[in-house]
A and B are shown apart, each in its own frame.
Chain A
Amino acid sequence: MRTRSGLMRRVGDLAFQALGIIVTLAALLALATLIYDVAHDGLGRISWQFLTSYPSRRPESAGILGPLVGSLFVIGLTAAIAVPAGVAAAIYLEEYARRTFVSRVIEINIANLAGVPSIIYGLLGLGLFVRAMGMGRSVLAGAATLALLVLPMVIISTREALRAVPPSLREGSYALGATRWQTMWHQVLPAALPGILTGLILALSRAMGETAPLITIGALTYVGFVPDGIWSPFTVLPIQIFNWVSRPQAAFAVNAAAGILVLLVLLLALNAVAIILRDRYQKRLA
């Protein structure tokens, strides 16, 4: 071998490994910086008053009660729409559908829908729910829009959870004379439940952080009340954060940072539940 000495090659290999470690660390550092920056700016602003006040023109007396309740309300309703529809669709595609042209088209369609930008769902919600169906800029219109947005995610993750259930469970149930649905309802779904829940929570936490589609359907940016029903106008936490970031005064930026902290804590709590469920699931399978 006259091309390159073994030493040179080993140095190149080590350098490349070092580069890999550096880049990976840099990505992790970016995450840490982001969290540190937000916490540094906003932590001092978090107080009971901040959580229980309505927005205000004076930054120091403004709070997030309306957006906070709005977010929880909209996500609850989103779950009520998207979860049954998404899980049912996943059960059909994974357990019932034969390999026909129609089921193939539905599958490709779902994969594509998962990649459609969220703001396009906002335009759909605006044209379909707000205007054509006359829902106005209501909680229901917002939840319906977000439900369509998370539907592909719910279907894809539920299918994966169903696929992880061993076929022997189904065969045993059929052997005992159970029908298809009895097998699904009493055997497969309970076994897949933790996996399904994990996927659902991840999809809903994505919905909770969404801003663009709700701005597009015309959710308010200034709400001095708590939404009192599905026809009520509303705003959500990310929109309030966006509203505060867009203002020039520094004091509102502090409010935005505090709002982000509340949003991140909510998301973290949701994801912690998902991780705990996943852990329990993996132990049971092992």
Chain B
Amino acid sequence: MSRRIRLWIEFAIERLLFVCAATSILVTAGIIAVLVFETYEFLREVPVREFLFGTVWTPLFADAHFGVAPLVGGTLLVSAIAMAVALPAGLITAIYLSEYAPSGVRRVVKPVLELLAGVPTVVYGYFALLFVTPLLQRVVPGLAGFNALSPGIVMGIMILPLVSSLSEDALHAVPTGLREGAYALGATRMQTALRVVVPAAFSGISAACILAASRAIGETMIVAIAAGQQPRLTLDPRVPVETMTAYIVQVSLGDTPSGTLAYRTIFAVGMLLFVSTFILNLISNWLRERFREEYA
């Protein structure tokens, strides 16, 4: 091969690789374009004020109301329960694995915990509906067959490895010198962990927690299976609720004709979901960058 042809091929390959990398920008652009287009069409018929601040969500009924608050409320309720399980358990697990556990235990437990994150969400849905709910019904009076509590707890188990794994990475990245300093001052392991290492890893740990919140908000199958499909603005975890994601599934499964206003609602709800998770992800990334710079 002559040198010129070879150089030309090298150039062509580099261009081709660049195009593949740039495709990822197109994916984001595609998501935004699809959501913005359909949401715009939706908001031409429904005032944005009714959508964001209305408290009744009945888009599929003859008497249609488009107040998204019940879906947002359902999402926040289930996510809050999930975080109440995943944050303490995940953090304690992370501190144990990073500061206490012998390295052998850590090497075995960490990947096994990550298996929890690899289980398909539809399996967790099954587990929530047919195992956890009946179990909880024995101890929680008035717990309905579909409720926010059971999928919330199961979702917490699902995102626990996310919290523990990322927090553990953050704790692990804290320089040993800080720990040795604390020990030298006579601190116990617990005092060192809670008062020195955890504060030092704080931005990394918060990044993990915010990412977990974003994951909880976007989680679909567990709630679609076990939380019911009744949009309801409530703080009672014992009754059926509907989340934003479960609503999108409900409409996708039904026979709502495309192009109708009821159909466009899933894109409007999707837009809200996308924007909220996107903001959380940006904050999480920013915190992680900051953490990395602190101990670079």
Contacts and interface: CB of A to CB of B under 8 A. Distances in A.
Interface residues of A, number: 87
Contacts of B119: 31, 34, 209, 264
Nearest to B189: A13
A45 to B, nearest CB: 14
Nearest to A250: B130
A23 B167 CA distance: 15
A188 interface: no
A245 B225 contact: yes
A110 B109 contact: no
Interface stretch (B66-74, B175-183, B278-286): B278-286
A20 B100 contact: yes
B217 to A, nearest CB: 7
B129 interface: yes
Interface in B241-275: 245, 248-249, 252-253, 258, 266-267, 270, 273-274
A260 interface: yes
Given A9-B191, A24-B97, A112-B278, A123 B89 contact: no
Contacts of A123: 31, 34-35, 248, 266-267, 270
Contacts of A245: 122, 125-126, 129-130, 225
A285 B252 CA distance: 48
Overall SS of chain B's interface: helix
B84 interface: no
A181 interface: yes
B81 to A, nearest CB: 15
Contacts, number: 258
A267 interface: yes
Given A89-B21, A123-B248, A256 B126 contact: yes
B267 to A, nearest CB: 6
B120 A30 contact: no
Interface string B16-50: 11101111110110110011011000000000000
Interface of B: 6, 9-10, 13-14, 16-18, 20-25, 27-28, 30-31, 34-35, 37-38, 88-89, 92-93, 95-97, 100-101, 109, 112-113, 115-116, 118-127, 129-131, 157, 160-161, 164, 188-191, 193, 211, 214-215, 217-221, 224-225, 245, 248-249, 252-253, 258, 266-267, 270, 273-274, 277-278, 280-282, 284-285
26 contacts: A13-B190, A16-B189, A20-B92, A20-B100, A20-B101, A24-B97, A27-B89, A27-B116, A33-B131, A89-B23, A92-B14, A112-B278, A116-B278, A117-B215, A117-B220, A118-B218, A119-B218, A120-B218, A123-B31, A127-B267, A152-B24, A210-B120, A211-B221, A242-B224, A245-B125, A245-B225
Interface of A: 9-10, 12-13, 16-17, 19-21, 23-24, 26-28, 30-31, 33-34, 37-38, 41, 84-86, 88-89, 91-93, 96-97, 103, 105-106, 108-113, 115-124, 126-128, 131, 148, 151-152, 155, 179-181, 202, 205-206, 208-212, 215-218, 221, 238, 241-242, 245-246, 253, 256-257, 260, 263-264, 267, 271
